């Protein structure tokens, strides 16, 4: 949904990402199967060509206007092209009067929806109904299996009986349906997002989503710190410049406390979102005091990426604990040969602040004195209670000392590595292990020239002696600003439901995203074939390993993250000892927590 820079050239977004190319995110290297509606599009093309061959090669023959018009309608939907009644008639290959009768029959069967294009309603566009999308999606699977069984080159025919389509929760998700009424947003829809690969994928699908919602879409993307600044700046305006804003999960408490975003129950029926389909941790993280304020647009846990082939060659166990990480890092580290043990977020400021909080969690302690509950700590009930920072705890010291140990086996530029920079040397085969969000996996999963391609294992964060396997949940929720003009709210909500629907999330995955906030998307057999990440993240969620308490979303959390990232950077540089750095953090955070949020 982005506009602006040429998407065929490498993009640079702030300090978070340097050069992830749109080509890799959109379609991978040659041979990649991450195409929009890959199987469905292939079947539509196949049937269109077959129908044309039959109509023209055999004589006498009779065209099939129903099929020809439905195929034309489906192709337009997949490609994001406008379909009108006249173009349907032209595609039917029968006389005008006959075509109009056949089109009326298709509409009477509930397979086609009309959407007005003008205020008078005299001009309208045609779109596949949800019923047609569901039926055609099922047909596509059957056609694909029949063709594969007859001619080879595809999925084995026995998958029809034993494959995902007959397993509970494994049904294929059809493409997203167009809204029956186009949204009425003068000037188009305006969205403020983070400049990461998932939102880049959404940008690449701009044309399709404009067809789905019926208006132009304008997207602005910023690095993480600039995104927060712009969201806060927007809140100071009399009227919001954005219909939707993407918020990093830890920011939710601040934006709620300052009254900057709308509670979802005040503007919509939350059941429209099918809340039970969202990963539990991602959906809970969208709440404050039990009320949802945003819709997960991407749920991306931070994991440990490791080279399965290197570990196998050395006979090493996967790095499930911090001790194993250090042992493996020492084994693989060879700076003279340009090979290093581990990469992670050590850049000064926000990047290192996030890393330290997650490392504390891996050692069994959040950075605040949260209440202990089954499975971890309570981050659901944060409003109205005082907190004590825990940077003076033994676990925090153990976490700091672990980071100091990692320094010995890290690349020489580790102190400037942030979100993207840590993954780049891993993908290039220079690093054995890297902490990274799943949203960055496309950099090596979609590039078969990367040594890490096909050789990467994924694990929850390696844990310390007092910790347990957890995968800290990251990602963004889409929120409606509280200062959005009242006459834009309901149309914005309609579009929000489209952008976060299972069909849309599947489309993002098929175009290169490696984040999914919904169980149904991770269970889709077509999505699972794209990457092992989707099934693994679902399994982590079922095991309650996805957690958002490592970065508790209290209103002061952004300041706390910044303090950690600056004070501990001096520690990593050797300017101050870990105990002294943590004492300074403790004192500064205590002062922050004593102030009232305004």
CA angle at residue 44 from 41 to 48, to 5 degrees?
140
Q: At residue 292, does pLDDT exceed 70? A: yes
Same domain, 261 and 217: yes
CA 443 vs CA 249, 466, 528: distances in Å: 23, 33, 18
Asked whether residue 158 is domain-assigned, the answer is yes
Distance CA 86, CA 465 (A): 69
State the pLDDT confidence band at 34, using cuts at 50, 70 and 90. Answer: very low
What is the predicted pLDDT for the residue at 541? 92
Instruction: Give the mean pLDDT of 360-376.
Output: 94
What is the predicted pLDDT for the residue at 287? 97
Same domain, 102 and 209: no
Query: What would the pLDDT profile of 92-145 be if each residue is shown by its tens digit?
Result: 888 888 888 888 888 888 888 887 776 666 677 888 888 888 777 777 777 767
CA 515 vs CA 196, 203, 302, 508: distances in Å: 11, 15, 11, 8
The CATH number for 150's domain is 1.10.10.10
Q: At residue 515, does pLDDT exceed 80? A: yes
Asked whether residue 53 is domain-assigned, the answer is yes
State the pLDDT confidence band at 59, using cuts at 50, 70 and 90. Answer: confident
State the pLDDT confidence band at 300, using cuts at 50, 70 and 90. Answer: very high
Same domain, 538 and 559: no
Q: At residue 148, does pLDDT exceed 70? A: no
Instruction: Give the mean pLDDT of 299-319.
Output: 96
Instruction: Give the mean pLDDT of 360-388.
Output: 93
Same domain, 45 and 159: yes
Count of CA atoms in the C-beta half-sphere (13 A) of 339: 14
Asked whether residue 177 is domain-assigned, the answer is no
CA 242 vs CA 189, 245, 375, 482, 485: distances in Å: 8, 7, 38, 11, 10
Q: At residue 283, does pLDDT exceed 50? A: yes
Q: At residue 412, does pLDDT exceed 80? A: yes
**What domain range includes position 512?**
189-299+474-546
Asked whether residue 431 is domain-assigned, the answer is yes
Asked whether residue 13 is domain-assigned, the answer is no
Query: What would the pLDDT profile of 539-553 be if each residue is shown by its tens digit?
Result: 999 999 999 999 999
Same domain, 150 and 277: no
The CATH number for 387's domain is 3.40.190.10
State the pLDDT confidence band at 28, using cuts at 50, 70 and 90. Answer: very low
Same domain, 85 and 122: yes
Distance CA 549, CA 353 (A): 15
Q: At residue 5, does pLDDT exceed 50? A: no
State the pLDDT confidence band at 149, using cuts at 50, 70 and 90. Answer: low
Q: Report whether 447 contacts 25 (CB < 8 A).
A: no
Go through the chain and tell me how many residues it has.
Answer: 598
What is the predicted pLDDT for the residue at 42? 74
Q: Report whether 389 contacts 367 (CB < 8 A).
A: yes
**Pairing verdict, β 189-194 and 244-248:** parallel
Which phi and psi (to 5°) does residue 479 adopt?
-125, 155
With pLDDT > 70 as the criterion, what percentage of the chain qualifies?
87
Better-scored residue on pLDDT, 432 or 76: 432
150-154, 342-346, 376-380: segment of lowest average pLDDT: 150-154
Distance CA 457, CA 441 (A): 11
Specify the 3-state DSSP secondary structure of 548: coil
What is the predicted pLDDT for the residue at 587? 97
Same domain, 121 and 220: no
Instruction: Give the mean pLDDT of 13-19.
Output: 37
Same domain, 345 and 358: yes
Distance CA 137, CA 100 (A): 25
Query: What would the pLDDT profile of 247-261 be if each residue is shown by its tens digit?
Result: 999 999 999 999 999
Better-scored residue on pLDDT, 68 or 347: 347
Better-scored residue on pLDDT, 162 or 76: 76
pTM reported for the whole predicted model: 0.78
In the chain, how many domains are there?
3
179-183, 217-221, 405-409: segment of lowest average pLDDT: 179-183
Candidates 405, 427, 25; CA nearest to 203 is 25
CA 183 vs CA 262, 269, 482, 502: distances in Å: 19, 18, 19, 20
Nearby residues of 98 by Cβ (< 8 Å), 6 or more positions away: 65, 92
Better-scored residue on pLDDT, 277 or 158: 277
Same domain, 91 and 199: no
End-of-domain residue from the set 129, 151, 166:
166
What is the predicted pLDDT for the residue at 90? 84
What is the predicted pLDDT for the residue at 539? 93
Asked whether residue 3 is domain-assigned, the answer is no
What is the predicted pLDDT for the residue at 118? 66
Same domain, 521 and 587: no
Same domain, 489 and 375: no
Asked whether residue 401 is domain-assigned, the answer is yes
Same domain, 519 and 586: no
Asked whether residue 311 is domain-assigned, the answer is yes
């Amino acid at each position: 949904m982005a506009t602006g820079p040429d998407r065929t050239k490498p993009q640079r977004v702030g300090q978070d990402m340097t050069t992830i190319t749109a080509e890799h995110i959109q379609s991978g290297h040659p041979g990649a199967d991450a195409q929009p509606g890959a199987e469905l599009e292939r079947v539509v093309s196949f049937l269109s060509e077959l129908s044309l061959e039959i109509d023209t090669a055999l004589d006498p023959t009779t065209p099939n206007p129903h099929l020809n018009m439905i195929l034309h309608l489906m192709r337009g939907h997949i490609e994001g092209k406008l379909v009108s009644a006249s173009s349907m008639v032209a595609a039917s290959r029968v006389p005008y009067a006959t075509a109009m009768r056949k089109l009326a029959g298709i509409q009477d069967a509930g397979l086609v929806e009309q959407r007005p294009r003008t205020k008078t309603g005299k001009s309208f566009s045609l779109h596949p109904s949800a019923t047609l999308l569901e039926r055609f999606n099922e047909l596509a699977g059957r056609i694909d299996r029949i063709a594969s069984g007859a001619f080879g080159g595809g999925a084995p025919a026995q998958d029809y009986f034993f494959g995902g389509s007959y397993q509970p929760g494994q049904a294929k998700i059809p493409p997203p349906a167009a809204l029956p009424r186009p949204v009425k947003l003068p000037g188009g829809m305006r969205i403020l997002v983070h400049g990461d690969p998932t939102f880049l994928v959404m940008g690449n699908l701009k044309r399709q989503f404009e067809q789905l919602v019926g208006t132009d879409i304008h997207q602005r993307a910023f690095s993480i710190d600039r995104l927060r600044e712009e969201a806060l700046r927007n809140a100071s305006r009399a009227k919001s410049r954005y219909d939707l804003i993407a918020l990093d999960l830890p920011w939710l408490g601040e934006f709620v406390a300052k009254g900057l975003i709308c509670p979802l129950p005040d503007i919509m029926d939350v059941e429209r979102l099918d809340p039970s389909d969202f990963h539990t941790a991602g959906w809970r993280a969208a709440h404050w005091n039990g009320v949802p304020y945003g819709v997960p647009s991407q749920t991306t846990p931070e994991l440990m990426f490791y080279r399965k082939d290197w570990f196998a060659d050395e006979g090493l166990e996967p790095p499930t604990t911090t001790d194993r990480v250090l042992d493996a890092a020492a084994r693989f580290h060879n700076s003279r040969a340009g090979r290093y043990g581990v990469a992670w977020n050590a850049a000064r400021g926000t990047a290192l602040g996030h890393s330290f909080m997650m490392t504390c969690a891996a050692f069994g302690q959040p950075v605040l004195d949260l209440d202990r509950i089954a499975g971890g700590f309570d981050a659901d009930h944060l409003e109205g209670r005082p907190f004590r920072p825990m940077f003076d705890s033994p676990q925090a010291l153990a976490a700091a000392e672990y980071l100091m140990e990692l320094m010995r086996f890290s690349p020489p530029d580790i102190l400037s590595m942030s979100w993207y920079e840590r993954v780049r040397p891993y993908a290039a085969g220079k690093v054995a292990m890297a902490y990274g969000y799943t949203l960055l996996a496309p950099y090596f999963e979609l590039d078969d020239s990367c040594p890490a391609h096909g050789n990467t294992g994924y694990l929850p964060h390696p844990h310390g002696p007092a910790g347990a396997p957890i995968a800290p949940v990251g990602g963004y929720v889409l929120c409606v600003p509280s200062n959005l003009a009242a006459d834009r709210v309901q149309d914005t909500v309609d579009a929000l439901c489209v952008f976060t629907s299972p069909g849309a999330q599947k489309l993002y995955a098929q175009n290169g995203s490696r984040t999914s906030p919904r169980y149904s998307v991770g269970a889709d057999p077509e999505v699972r074939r794209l990457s092992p990440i989707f099934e693994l993240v679902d399994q982590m969620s079922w095991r309650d390993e996805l957690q958002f308490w490592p970065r508790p979303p209290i209103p002061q959390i952004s300041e706390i993250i910044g303090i950690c990232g600056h004070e501990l950077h001096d520690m990593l540089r050797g300017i101050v000892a870990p105990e002294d750095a943590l004492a300074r953090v403790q004192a500064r955070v205590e002062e922050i927590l004593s102030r009232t949020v305004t």
